[in-house]
Amino acid sequence: MAIQVLVFLAGLALGSFLNVVITRLPLEERIWAGRSRCPHCRVLIPWYDNLPLASFFLLGRRCRSCQAPISWRYPAVELAGGMVALALWARFPGSYQLLIYGPFAAGLLALTGLDLEHRWLPDVITLPGIVLGLVFSLLFPHLTFLEALAGVLAGGGIFFILGWVYEKLTGKMGMGGGDVKLMALIGAFLGIKSVPFVILVSAALGSVVGLAAVLFQGAWRRGGWRTAAIPYGPFLAGAALLYLFGGGDLLRLLMLGE
């Protein structure tokens, strides 16, 4: 039990770091540029007001100095970090695979936050991530290099072609280049076998949420679906995590009875 508490706390701390990444990357601030400031009044945040999860609620969701509201994104990413860390530990307790899927899941969380807030899946995360996934396949036995490479080519390739066809047919940008690179990144870490699952499940999740947005938020406008009303990256990241946490096994069981 004690180990789970430590894993959860480590996940909270990681989530706290990912918040720094999500906040600073779009501002072109250095990630390691020292302590965080309130984005509103720029006052330095003391450590006791910067505790993952706790400070948000202790402060009543407001900056102590200027009373500006603090975004829900901060506790949400911290909690997600803690939950994902627990889930990783439950699935791969003490395994070398934590070295692979820990950084992978952290990258997915950062990309999810950036895509939700800024519609941006930065190359500075996705491209080194693809290389890292390929390198891991050479170092560790979870995937062969060929499975990882085929995952990059098939994942990225399918999305590239889909985006190209959509653009030719409609004259509008559909799939962003960031989605192509994120799918290639997922292929590099989870291998080519994950690609059909991730594409189908992300499309299904996206459809459900898209439909809900139409029903509850009026994302549908006269003249058609408000294009790019919803970023696609979070659905790809979610589907990749579902695959990692057993969705792949479930699919094999359903399809092949293995």
Nearest 10 degrees: Cα torsion 240, 245, 248, 249: 180
CA 158 to chain centre: 20
Answer yes or no whether residue 65 interacts with Zn ion by CB under 5 A.
yes
What are the b/e assignments for 76-108, b being 16+ CB within 10 Å? bbbbbbbebbbbbbeebeeeebbebbbbbbbbb
Listed in sequence order, the DSSP H helices in the chain are 2-24, 54-58, 73-91, 97-118, 123-139, 145-170, 177-190, 194-217, 233-242, 248-256
At closest approach, how far in Å is the CB of 54 from Zn ion? 18
User: Which CB atom, from 36 or from 91, has the smaller least distance to Zn ion?
Assistant: 36
Nearest distance from C-beta of residue 63 to Zn ion, angstroms: 3
Surface-to-core class of residue 72, CB atoms within 10 Å of its CB (0-12 exposed, 13-18 middle, 19+ buried)? exposed
Q: Using CB under 5 A, count the residues that bind Zn ion.
A: 7
Which one of 13, 38, 53, 214 is in contact with Zn ion (CB under 5 A)?
38
The smaller minimum CB distance to Zn ion, of residues 74 and 189, is found at 74
- Nearest distance in Å: CB 41, Zn ion: 3
CB of 45 or CB of 53, closer to Zn ion: 45
**Does residue 44 interact with Zn ion by CB under 5 A?**
no
CB 49, min distance to Zn ion, A: 10
In this complex, which beta carbon is closest to Zn ion, that of residue 51 or of residue 153? 51
- Which is nearer to Zn ion, 67 or 144 (by Cβ)? 67
Binding flag, residue 50, Zn ion (CB under 5 A): no
Q: What minimum distance in Å lies between the beta carbon of 37 and Zn ion?
A: 8
Whose CA is closest to 109, among 20, 216, 218, 230? Answer: 20
Alpha-carbon gap, residue 131 to 204, rounded angstroms: 28
Closest C-alpha to 19, from 43, 34, 41, 36? 36
The residue within the footprint of Zn ion, chosen from 24, 36, 37, 40 (CB under 5 A), is 40
Q: Of residues 18, 21, 22, 63, which one binds Zn ion by CB under 5 A?
A: 63
- Answer for the pair 116, 234: CB distance below 8 angstroms, yes or no: yes
Of 31, 44, 66, 211, the residue at the interface with Zn ion (CB under 5 A) is: 66
Q: Report in angstroms how near the CB of residue 28 gets to Zn ion at its nearest.
A: 21
Question: Considering the rule CB under 5 A, would residue 41 count as an interface residue with Zn ion?
Answer: yes
Distance CA 143, CA 147 (A): 6
Least distance to Zn ion, CB of residue 40, Å: 4
Question: What does the binding site for Zn ion look like in residue numbers (CB under 5 A)?
Answer: 38, 40-41, 63, 65-66, 68
